[in-house]
Structure 1
Amino acid sequence: MSESGEVPAGTADGIRIVYETFGDPADPPVLLVMGLGAQLLAWREGFCAALVERGLFVVRYDNRDIGLSTHLDGAPRPDFGALLAGDPSSASYTLSDMADDAVRLLDHLGLAAAHVVGASLGGMIAQTLTVDHPERVLSLTSIMSTTGDRSVGRATEAATATLLAPPVSSREEALERSVVSARVLGSPGYPADPDEVRRRAGEGWDRDHDPAGVGRQLAAIYASGDRTARLADVAVPTLVLHGADDPLIDVSGGRATAAAVPGAELVVLDGMGHDLPEALWPQVVDAVDALVRRAGSAAAG
């Protein structure tokens, strides 16, 4: 059973964060951070339940500008040409601001620290949280993500076209777009069921849809730069998971992340693209659980 809640917009930036928890709060906490334009629903309940079965307390949440958390509707439109040229001034916020949202969530839940698991943009936020607030992170798991170094983790042309496609204008169009996206970005070794893809896309559309918010999240990535040098200071046990066949963030991004973090473990999953297919959940849960136990043993020692 899950419990829902929200972090009130009590700070100067007025950001409200909506979250759900699973399991016993007395168990080791795992904070799940999702990717670009992806709501907390993308951490599927079955995946959360599998972590709970390992004796973990799971928290999933909507990043700012997505889902039921605060959307910065009045913010200026990002200038991506300027952002790509190195001028971050048009970004409404950075990855550090998004990491601060996670800290506020931990504070709200009364958690001094958590095992942080991030996917894609969520992995970038998780990395930033670890370097900005090392005392709040017990272990780091970075999934299908990268360091911010633009020479690694590059997308294929087809993946870039999918990411930058014009916004959809209806629920029906959103469902069909989701099938196309899953075909391009998903795991070739574990193809998704189109009907299930449509069902989940409809669930997401009914809960929230805001293309402008996704654009602001993307701007935060470009505005935040390369984390490689700072990742050398990460001192917590770290796991890097990446699909060998990821077309949106090439596996070189995962390899660079693991190389940047001292002692990081790298697991490359054959047949995995830029998604987390259910067939791979047992392997991913095993790896996260082993990292949590390892981090607990290191802390006890």
Structure 2
Amino acid sequence: MARAQANGLELEYDTFGDPGDPPLVLVMGLGAQMITWEEDFCALLAGRGFFVVRYDNRDVGLSTWLDDLPAPDLAALAAGDLATAPYLLSDLADDAVGLFDALGIAKAHVVGASMGGMIVQQLAIDHPDRLLSVTSIMSTTGDPAVGRAEPWALALLTRPPANTREQAIADSVEGYRRLGSPGYPDDEAFLLAKAELHYDRARHPAGTLRHAAAVVASGDRTAALRSVRLPALVVHGDADPLINVSGGKATAEAIPGAELLVIPGMGHNLPRAVWPELADAIERVTGQ
């Protein structure tokens, strides 16, 4: 893995495949490290003829942590006072463009999951000249009327961070299990190993809180998405408890000509069993 200077920050990244192939940049979600894009999935995409780049967003993983910024007031944000958000999704989108520049990428296909889907939507709005296509997975437009979480799922996401490694890992395993795909349940040993890997690599709850503030403060992208003129794919599971499938449907409706792929039994994760179907859809939208 390596680090790139981008937008005044250091972004940790790694790559898969031939640098001469069309670049495909993977953008992960709220508080999620780039290793959430599993190596085997990245290798699968590289095998389809892409130069795959995954990276840690600011404030997560091994990229720059912005702990000098004040803690956001989520209650004030929810009430409409946006001034307490340390940064916005547009800043995270600018980070991606900075990474493009550092890697010498003129234009890229972009794929984002959850908050990463919001970031690639913002990229399509702010920097359409730097994109070849956009894929938004298990995400939403920012319209509060769509994509609503089940109350219990939101409670899982917003509970106070654990004080010990043991409890943090247990909380992560519970979250993975309950937010994941009922049609494709994961083995408990896999979930435990994943939780341990992510905790030991870089745990940063303060950054996750600032990510949440960016999502809340960035508002509704629906009107701006109607101006997007890029090949677009929207993927969502019909069993997603954290971002209801209505969020994906609204995203596809907002982007002219977007393909909508709803995967039965998929929750708020990317189970290995759906990777071939997802890779096929990404190939379609990119024209590979």
Regarding TM over 0.5, the answer is yes
CA distance in 2, matches of 1:5, 1:290: 30
Q: Does residue 2 of structure 2 align to residue 5 of structure 1?
A: yes
**2:50 corresponds to:** 56
> 1:87-114, CA deviations, whole angstroms, 9 ceiling, x for partnerless residues?
1111110000000000000001101110
Equivalent residue letter for 2:193: R
Kept in 1, the 8 Å contact 2:241–2:267? The answer is yes
How many pairs align? 288
Q: Does residue 247 of structure 2 align to residue 245 of structure 1?
A: no
Deviation (angstroms), 1:174 = 2.1
Question: Secondary structure, in 3 states, of the residue corresponding to 1:168?
Answer: coil
Question: Secondary structure, in 3 states, of the residue corresponding to 1:16?
Answer: strand
Equivalent residue letter for 2:106: A
**2:90 corresponds to:** 96
Question: Secondary structure, in 3 states, of the residue corresponding to 2:136?
Answer: strand
Kept in 2, the 8 Å contact 1:158–1:184? The answer is no
Deviation (angstroms), 1:8 = 2.2
CA distance in 2, matches of 1:15, 1:218: 19
- Give the alignment of 1:232-271 within 5 angstroms: 232-271=226-265
**1:297 corresponds to:** none
Q: Which runs of 5+ in 2 are unaligned?
A: none
Deviation (angstroms), 1:194 = 1.2
Deviation (angstroms), 1:183 = 2.3
- Give the alignment of 1:1-301 within 5 angstroms: 4-8=1-5, 11=7, 14-293=8-287
Deviation (angstroms), 1:170 = 2.1
Identity over aligned pairs, percent? 58
Equivalent residue letter for 2:65: H
> 1:217-270, CA deviations, whole angstroms, 9 ceiling, x for partnerless residues?
000001101000000011011000000000000000000000000000001000
CA distance in 1, matches of 2:15, 2:283: 17
Question: Secondary structure, in 3 states, of the residue corresponding to 2:72?
Answer: coil
Equivalent residue letter for 1:220: A
CA distance in 2, matches of 1:182, 1:165: 14
Deviation (angstroms), 1:117 = 0.2
CA distance in 2, matches of 1:169, 1:246: 28
CA distance in 1, matches of 2:71, 2:198: 24
Equivalent residue letter for 2:89: L
> 1:265-285, CA deviations, whole angstroms, 9 ceiling, x for partnerless residues?
001000000000011111111
> Please, what is the CA RMSD of the aligned residues?
1.0
CA distance in 1, matches of 2:198, 2:240: 23
> 1:125-165, CA deviations, whole angstroms, 9 ceiling, x for partnerless residues?
00001100000110010000000001100000110110011
* TM-score w.r.t. length of structure 2: 0.98
Equivalent residue letter for 1:137: L
CA distance in 2, matches of 1:292, 1:172: 42
**1:299 corresponds to:** none
CA distance in 2, matches of 1:195, 1:170: 20
* TM-score w.r.t. length of structure 1: 0.94
Deviation (angstroms), 1:180 = 1.0
CA distance in 1, matches of 2:281, 2:164: 39
Q: Which runs of 5+ in 1 are unaligned?
A: 295-301
